[in-house]
Structures are given as C-alpha cells and as structure tokens.
Amino acid sequence: MAAVTFYLGDAAGREARLQLACRVTERAWRAGHRVLVLHGSAEEQRALDEYLWTFADGSFVPHEALAPGAEAPILLSCALPPGELDVLVNLTDAVPDCLQRVQRIAEIIDADPAARSAGRSRFRAYREAGIEPATHEIRA
C-alpha cells in the first residue's frame, strides 16, 4: 500500500502549484527515485514540462512525456501506465487508481480554497482506504 504525503503550499494559483510540484519532483529524483507526474490535462502537462526547465536557476531535472521507450527518471503523463510505480506526484483532483502498485504518492495542494477543499476530500478517501497520509507545509 502506498505511503501518501500532502505538500501544502502557502501561495495560491496554477503557478504556485506547478512551482511546488517542481520542488517535490526534483527532491524525489535527487533522492534516487523514478517519478511519474500525473496531470489532469495535456495543457497542465505542457506547462509543467516548461517549469521543470526554468523553475530554479542552475536546476536540471531530467524529464520527458511518458511514451514507449521513454527512459528519463521523471515521466509526465495524463494517464497511469501499467506496472509498478516508485513515486507518483498527483496533480489531478482524484485519488489515483494505483494504491496497490505505487510506493509513494505526493499530493500537491496550493493555497487556493477550492484546491484545499479537493485535497481534504482526497485526504479522507486515503484514510477510508486504510492509509494515514502525512502533511508537510511548504513555504514559497
């Protein structure tokens, strides 16, 4: 069963959410994990792709879109691939349907009231599934 951590940002909006996703993704990669970032839309996936190149001066975060033959340690996708997953960064509004085949899920929540509300719903859903999520507040 997956370990789940909610990362709560102190700024609201899409840019704040993507910046936080970049920080969490980079940290997981630097810790030696393979990361899948799950997006709710292709537009968001393209935006995060750009942010991963530019979010921090001097930062290099090797990533690419999930496709046959993709080898980067960070993969971006709007759908879950088959098989086992190491770290899943969830940018969707739903609990991913892979709790039995992923080691860790990182939920990215910005300070927008709607995002917080959706995050609370997912938090409850994880608890109902028998997972006790951890929470970390991250300052911009």
CATH number, domain of 130, equals: 3.40.50.10110
Q: Any idea which residue has 């608890």 for tokens?
A: 127
* 46 CB-side CA count, 13 A: 3
Dump pLDDT digits (tens) for 12-36: 999 999 999 999 999 999 999 999 9
Dump pLDDT digits (tens) for 78-96: 999 988 899 999 999 999 9
Instruction: Kindly report the pTM of this predicted structure.
Output: 0.94
Contact between residue 137 and residue 40 where contact means Cβ atoms under 8 Å apart: no
CA gap 38, 64 in Å, rounded: 12
- Decide if pLDDT at 139 tops 90: no
Domain count, the chain: 1
Dump pLDDT digits (tens) for 36-67: 999 999 999 999 999 898 887 777 789 999 99
Three-class DSSP category at 61: coil
CA gap 28, 102 in Å, rounded: 14
